[in-house]
């Protein structure tokens, strides 16, 4: 994988409901829109050199930040997070970029971003190819856990977390990143489950990638089976480390090769 490069400049666009959202891009060539995970931003794809490696293979890599995340606006009004709003925002972003069909772009996501890719596909997005990484069938069906459970505890807490506890460390990490737990919880609460039968209507070639030590791997084969044109790839690591694995980028480069 390429060495990390300086962070690309942040640009902004305004959604249909007036929310200002951030995005970054690097490279030239066929557009590749990559979506990040929860409690993160587009730098998921830059800090370990993944985006640079993809850009070096002829992609214009485009990295939006979801609302409530990163450099995007973080509205504290629940009305700003109606159901499926992260999908609505990303579909609007594609329109903003003029990306409308398989000849125009490819699409990928990790963790939360992968779940939004699935939502976009069942709602009619038609990239040439799609990457769904770090999510299994349980997550697509709306079964949450992990970080979202910890976030719920932090938001619901009436007293400060116990010093030295996992909850305190998690809250400190979010503060250091400039995250607002209440806003992030509203963003996650806006997610919409995708019934398995809807996946059968997706005919976009899709790479389903998963870390071998990721707890979400228990249902990844179900997701592969439910998508008619899915290909499975694995990379070493748990949910956090797999996103930076060179094997993950290599699988994406191979899958997105226009000669395939």
> Is the pLDDT confidence value at 159 over 80?
no
Does 5 reside within a domain?
no
Does 41 reside within a domain?
yes
Does residue 150 or residue 200 have the better pLDDT? 200
Q: How many CB atoms lie within 10 A of CB 103?
A: 10
Residue 175's domain is classified under what CATH number?
Answer: 3.40.50.1820
Nearest Cα neighbor of 35 from 201, 100, 43 is 43
**What stretches of the chain adopt beta strand conformation (E)?**
11-14, 20-26, 30-35, 59-64, 106-110, 130-133, 206-211, 230-235
Does 45 reside within a domain?
yes
Does residue 247 or residue 260 have the better pLDDT? 247
- The number of domains in the chain is 1
Does 46 reside within a domain?
yes
Alpha-carbon gap, residue 253 to 2, rounded angstroms: 13
> Is the pLDDT confidence value at 65 over 90?
yes
Task: Put the strands of the sheet holding 230-235 in their side by side order.
Answer: 11-14, 20-26, 59-64, 30-35, 106-110, 130-133, 206-211, 230-235
Does 20 reside within a domain?
yes
Contact 60, 32 (CB under 8 A): yes
Does residue 165 or residue 109 have the better pLDDT? 109
Predicted TM-score (pTM) of this structure: 0.91
Does 18 reside within a domain?
yes
Mean pLDDT, the chain, integer: 91
Structure tokens at 52: 């640079």
> Is the pLDDT confidence value at 4 over 80?
no
Nearest Cα neighbor of 165 from 178, 154, 176 is 154
Domain holding 83, by residue range, is 11-255
Does 3 reside within a domain?
no
């Amino acid at each position: 994988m390429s060495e990390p490069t300086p962070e690309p400049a942040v640009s902004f666009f305004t959604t249909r409901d007036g929310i200002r959202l951030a995005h970054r891009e690097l490279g030239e060539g066929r557009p590749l829109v990559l979506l990040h995970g929860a409690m993160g931003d587009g730098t998921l794809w830059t800090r370990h050199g993944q985006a640079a490696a993809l850009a070096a293979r002829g992609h214009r890599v485009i990295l939006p930040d979801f609302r409530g995340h990163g450099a995007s606006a973080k509205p504290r009004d629940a009305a700003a997070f109606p159901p499926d709003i992260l999908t609505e925002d990303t579909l609007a972003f594609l329109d903003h970029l003029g990306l409308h069909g398989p000849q125009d772009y490819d699409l990928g996501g990790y963790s939360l971003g992968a779940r939004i890719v699935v939502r976009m596909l069942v709602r009619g997005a038609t990239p040439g190819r799609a990457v769904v990484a770090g999510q299994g069938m349980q997550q697509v069906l709306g079964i949450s856990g992990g970080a979202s459970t910890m976030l719920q505890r932090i938001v619901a807490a009436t007293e400060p977390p116990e010093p030295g506890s996992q909850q305190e460390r998690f809250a400190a990490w979010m503060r250091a990143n400039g995250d607002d737990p209440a806003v992030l919880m509203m963003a996650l609460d806006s997610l919409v489950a995708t019934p398995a039968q809807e996946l059968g209507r997706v005919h976009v070639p899709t790479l389903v990638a998963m870390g071998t030590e990721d707890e979400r791997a228990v249902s990844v084969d179900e997701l592969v089976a439910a998508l008619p044109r899915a290909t499975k790839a694995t990379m070493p690591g748990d949910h956090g480390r797999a996103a930076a694995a060179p094997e993950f980028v290599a699988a994406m480069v191979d899958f997105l090769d226009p000669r395939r």
